Structure 1
Amino acid sequence: MLTIHGVTRSRASRIIWLCHEIGLEFRQIPVIQAYRLADPDAPDAPLNTHSPAFLALSPAGAIPVIEDDGLVLSESLAATLYLARKYGGDVGPADLAEDAQMMQWSFYAATSIEPDALTILFLHARSRLQSGEDQAIVANAAERLVRPLKVVEDYLSTHKHLVGGRFTVADINLAEILRYAQSYGDLMSQFPATMAWLETCQARPGFRKMWQERLAEPE
């Protein structure tokens, strides 16, 4: 059985959503990020990314990690693309061209969107008063995202999904990265087709099941 190391409040959410979409059973070991703990090296600390047992599996000390039939993968996008190819059926690629397109969108999201989207996630809070410095950092991140999001917007204005006219792992990978910036209305309101696509993705039962599991975890 597939094993996923990592709490759902992490990039493991991408893998878990995919598993729910394709009906793939898995075992989850809730490794928590060390930065969320007051003393991750304390003897009574929960299993975390500093724990020797986890570092033996992932020397980089980052979640998620998957184990499948003896294969260990420690990058979430590598894991989703691999699982979609192996188990995903229509959620995975039908041929080499689709495989390349799914990688293209996934890598584009990771390199051109994710860094600034994460900045917005960590510093933008609608219910919390931000410092002027944080506001400036968020505004700069949002400005940098306009160009890559326009590429996504132009494509989704004429396509229902990213690859093959159907929902695939490429949609999962991009949607989970765009979620980081989703709450920043000043940015996302500029891209109505992208927001409509994102809301459609998040209405799927696979996402909703993953999200409920995520909300059930401690913050």
Structure 2
Amino acid sequence: MTLKIYGTAASRAARPLWVAQELGLAYEHIPLPYLGGATRTPEFLLLNPNGRIPVIDDEGVLVWESMACTLYLAERFKSSNMPSLAAENHAEQAEILRWSFWAMTECEKDALAFLMHRVLMPVERRKSQLADEAQRRLAGPLSVLEQHLQSRSYLAGERFTVADICVASVLAWVEGASELMTQCPRVAEWLQRCLARPAFLEVRNMAKSA
């Protein structure tokens, strides 16, 4: 059997796809959209009864929730023969877990609101006030990350790990928020380094071609 990743790259499925690209994994991508009922078929609901993407099928081991998929792949395919995205010690594991959950609880809702009302929604449906409010709320969490990056190059230390993927995949939604990036130059520099990685660029190209 083959590792399968369900979900279009223009969704939160970008997160596990990024890990798979970083690790050079052999996998089958099933680019299901999140609209149009593709995730509500009886066949898909057997994979994820919540009817959402992404889903990973690792030879019968099913994982859903995008951050869980991302963390699972990093740990599952950890190898001593190649650079690892997973933790190498307890200190790194603590950083990976706390920053990954931080991205979901402190940033994701507002980052998505900014993205929708600045970029994705048709102009006539955008509400600039909601984007402005989201950007203001994000200033607090990003200042925490800015301080953290004073003493390290990446979130878990001096090497790129799955923590950087989890957080950068959320903050990519606000990379165009120039005011935020000016206020947090270390965050901006770190984010651009993450988003310039070939693995992420490949996933972004997949999203554009979908």
In the alignment, what sits opposite 1:43? Answer: none
**Partner of residue 143, structure 1:** 136
The Cα of 1:125 is off from its aligned counterpart by 2.8
Could you tell me which residue of structure 2 aligns to residue 68 of structure 1? 58
- Counterpart position of 2:103: 109
Whole-angstrom CA distance in 2 between matches of 1:32 and 1:129: 22
**What 5-or-longer segments of structure 1 have no aligned partner?**
41-47
Amino acid at match of 2:117: L
What does 1:10-25 align with in structure 2 at a 5 Å threshold? 10-25=11-26
Matches of 1:23 and 1:96 in 2, distance apart?
Answer: 25
- 1:139-164 CA-to-partner distances (Å, cap 9, x unmatched) read 11111111100001111133100113
The residue number in structure 2 matching 1:170 is 163
Structure 2: gaps of 5 or more residues: none
The one-letter code matched in structure 1 to 2:169 is E
Q: Give the ranges of 4+ consecutive aligned residues of structure 1 lying more than 3 Å apart after TM superposition.
A: 126-131
Instruction: Give the corresponding residue for 2:45.
Output: 55
Structure 1 Cα separation of the partners of residues 128 and 88 of structure 2? 44
Partner of residue 87 from structure 1, selected from 74, 77, 81: 77
Equivalence map 1:30-49=2 (5 Å)? 30-34=31-35, 37=36, 40=37, 48-49=38-39
Q: Deviations over 1:102-144 (max 9, x none)?
A: 011100001100000000011113997567x811111111111
Alignment: residue pair count: 205
The residue identity in structure 2 corresponding to 1:11 is: R
Identity %: 38
Question: Which whole-Å CA distance do the structure 2 matches of 1:55 and 1:167 have between them?
Answer: 34
CA contact (8 A) 1:49 1:62 kept: yes
Distance 1:115-1:50 versus aligned 2 partners, 3 A rule:
same
TM-score by length of 2: 0.91
What's the Cα RMSD here? 1.9
Q: Give CA deviations for 1:46-74 in whole Å, capped at 9, x if unaligned.
A: xx122221112111111000011321111
Alignment partner of 1:99 is 2:93? yes
The Cα shift of 1:188 comes to 2.4
For 2:179 and 2:120, how far apart are their aligned partners in 1? Answer: 12
TM-score, normalized by length of structure 1?
A: 0.87
